[in-house]
A and B are shown apart, each in its own frame.
Chain A
C-alpha cells in the first residue's frame, strides 16, 4: 500500500465517521425534507375545490367563531346559533350528474421522438392542464419533467392534439384542472 493509498483510506474513514455522527445528532432533518413535496401535492388537489367550492366545507368553517361567542350571548336570549346558520346564504350544490373534473374525449398517443429512440432516452412526464369551458387547453404546467426536453415536448404535442370535455358545475361548463402523465419507455 503506497502512502497515497493510506492517506486516502484515512480520509474516507474520517468522512464516514462525520456523516454517521451528523445523522445520529440530527434525526428530525428527514421529515423536514419531505415538506415541500407535501405542499406541492396538496396544492394540486385543492385547486379544483376553489373552482367548484364545496358548500359543506364552508358551513363547517363558519360555526367555529359562532360557537365561541355563544356563551356570552346566552344571557340576553339571543337567537340560537342554528338560526344564524339559516340566515347565511347557502352555496349551491353540484348536481350528481356533473363532470367532477375535465375529461379526455379523444386520446392521442405521444410520438416517441427518433432522437430519443436512438439515444435510448426514457422517462415519465407529469403535467397539469387547465381546461377551459369550451374544452380547450388554456394552460399547461409541467409538474415532473422526463429529464429530456424532446420527450416533454412530444408529450405536450400529443396533449394539444387531444380533445377534452370541460368540468361541469350544476350542468354548466366551468374551467377545471386535469392532471395527466405518460411514461416513455423502451421494452428493451
Chain B
C-alpha cells in the first residue's frame, strides 16, 4: 500500500512542479533573480529579489527588492498613447492597474539570456526586454536592465509616453525611504528633470538588509533619463495608471489603508513617434554598490567601480553618514579625500553637517573627473569627525579603463554569378554587455547592396564574451574574386570606428 501512495505523491509533485515552472519566467545568477509573470493575468509584470545578494552583506540573501508574492503583479508599466493610458502586459487581476486597458500579449519567451514580452496594441508593437547586466557600481551582474521598445507600424504618427512604476520592497521593509542625490525623501515628492544618476533605498547603514539602486542616467547602459520621478505611496500609484492625486509632503501611508508603503514612478513625457519609427526607454534596478563602514558614525560611500577614461561625464559620488552612536553628534563634518589625477567638479571636499541627531542620516553628493585619460586604480576616502562621537573612515576604489572593443572578421562567399554574401563575425571579449552597436559596410566601386538589403545592422544588446554574426547580400557589376571594404562600427558612448578589411572569395 505504501508504494502506490508514494507513486501518487511522486506523480503529483511532478505535475505541481510543471505547473509552477510556467507561472513565471526567470533569470537568476548568484546575486539576483528576476521573475516575469507568465500567467494568464498580469502577464509580463516583473519582480526582483536577491539570491545571495551582495557578498559583503550577509543579511541580504533571498530578500526582495520589489514585491513579487505570490507572482509579480504590484509593479507595472503604463504607456500613454495619444493621451490614453494602456497598461503593459496581460489583464490585471488585482488592484495595481485593475480595469485598465491592455493590449494583447503575443509573445513571451527567454531569448539569449533575456526575457522578452511583446504586446500588440492596435498598430503599435511594444516589446519589454528584461536582462541581468553588469552593474557599473559593483562590476558584477546584480542589475536588471528594463527596456521597452515601441514600434509604430501605423501610417500615422503617434504620441507615446511611458511610466514605469516599481513597488519597492526591501527585505521585510515595504516603506524604506528614497535617497536621491542629496535628498532623503521621507514623504511624497516629485522631482522634475532632477540631474542625478541614480536613486537608492536602504533601511540602515550600520546593518542594512538590502541596499537597492535604480539608475536614472548612464550613457554606457543607454539609460533613458526620465522627465520626472514620483516618490509616492504604492496605493496611489496602484490605483492611478498615469496621473495621480499628488499632495506634496503627504506621508507614504498606503492610500485607503494604514501601513506605510513606498513606490516609485518614472515618467517619460509623450513624444511623437513617426510611421515605422521606434521609441525606446530604458532603466535599471538592482543592488546598490555602497561601501559601508559601521561605527558610531556609520559611513557609506558609493561610486561607479569602473570608469572609461573616454567618458566625458563626471563621476558621481554619494557619501552617507548615519548617527548610530546612541546619542546626538555635534560638530559633525565629512571630508572626501580625492585621489591624484582627479579633480572635484561639483561639491566641496570638506562639508560641515553640524548637529546630527541619533539615527539621522545625511548624504552629500560629489562629482569627480579624471584630469587626463589613463588606466589605473584610484582610492577615494571618506572621513567623518564629530566632537561627541568617535571618527570613522571608509574607502572605495575607482578603476579607470579603456572602453571594451569588439573584434571582427569578415568573409565573402559567392551566392550566384553576381551576388555575394559578406558575413561579419563580431566578438565581444569583454566582461561587459555592450549595448547599441551598429555596423555598416562601405563598399568599393563595383559592389552595391542587394535591393532588399539594409546596410545598418544593429546589435541592441551584445552579451559579454559572446559572438554575433551579421551578413549582407551584395551585388557585383562584374565577377569579383577579391576586394577591400570598410566595416563601420558605431558604439553608443564611444563613437564611430572604421575597419578596413581585405576580402577574397571564401577567405578573410
Contact = CB atoms under 8 A, between A and B. Distances in A.
A13 to B, nearest CB: 16
A188 B254 CA distance: 23
Among B95, B235, B255, the most chain A Cβ lie within 10 Å of the Cβ of: B95
A52 B384 CA distance: 77
A188 B41 CA distance: 6
B94 A186 contact: yes
Contacts of A187: 41, 91, 93
A117 B95 contact: yes
A114 B93 contact: no
A2 interface: yes
Contacts of B261: 114
Among A1, A2, A186, the most chain B Cβ lie within 10 Å of the Cβ of: A186
A120 interface: yes
B67 A118 contact: yes
Interface string A1-43: 1100100000000000000000000000000000000000000
Interface in A140-188: 154, 157, 186-188
Contacts of B91: 187
A173 B103 CA distance: 50
Given A111-B256, A114-B259, 17 more contacts: A1-B1, A5-B1, A111-B95, A111-B235, A111-B257, A112-B94, A112-B95, A114-B74, A114-B261, A117-B74, A117-B94, A118-B69, A118-B70, A186-B93, A186-B94, A187-B41, A187-B91
Nearest to B1: A5
Interface string B59-100: 000000001011001100000000000000001011100000
Interface of B: 1, 39-42, 67, 69-70, 73-74, 91, 93-95, 234-235, 254-257, 259, 261
A109 B256 CA distance: 10
Contacts of B94: 112, 117, 186, 188
A11 B42 CA distance: 49
B1 A114 contact: no
B254 A114 contact: yes
A12 to B, nearest CB: 13
Nearest to B257: A113
B353 to A, nearest CB: 36
A22 B438 CA distance: 83
17 contacts: A1-B1, A5-B1, A111-B95, A111-B257, A113-B257, A114-B74, A114-B95, A114-B254, A114-B257, A117-B73, A117-B95, A118-B70, A120-B70, A154-B256, A186-B93, A187-B91, A188-B41
A8 to B, nearest CB: 9
B411 to A, nearest CB: 52
Nearest to A6: B1
Contacts of B42: 188
Interface of A: 1-2, 5, 111-114, 117-118, 120, 154, 157, 186-188
Nearest to B41: A188
A114 B70 contact: no
A70 to B, nearest CB: 65
Contacts of A118: 67, 69-70
Report whether over half of chain A's contact residues are helix, strand or loop; otherwise say mixed: loop
A83 B73 CA distance: 75
B97 to A, nearest CB: 12
Contacts of B41: 187-188
Contacts of B70: 118, 120
B306 to A, nearest CB: 38
A60 to B, nearest CB: 49
Contact of A157 (B39, B40, B73, B256): B256
Nearest to A186: B93
Among A2, A112, A114, A154, the most chain B Cβ lie within 10 Å of the Cβ of: A114
A43 to B, nearest CB: 33
Among A5, A186, A188, the most chain B Cβ lie within 10 Å of the Cβ of: A188
Contacts of B40: 188
Nearest to A118: B69
Contacts of B1: 1-2, 5
A112 B239 CA distance: 10
Contacts of B39: 188
A108 to B, nearest CB: 10
A114 B259 CA distance: 9
A154 B256 CA distance: 8
A11 to B, nearest CB: 15
A175 B73 CA distance: 44
B255 A111 contact: yes
Contacts of B234: 114
Nearest to B96: A117
B262 to A, nearest CB: 12
A186 B39 CA distance: 14
Contacts of B95: 111-112, 114, 117
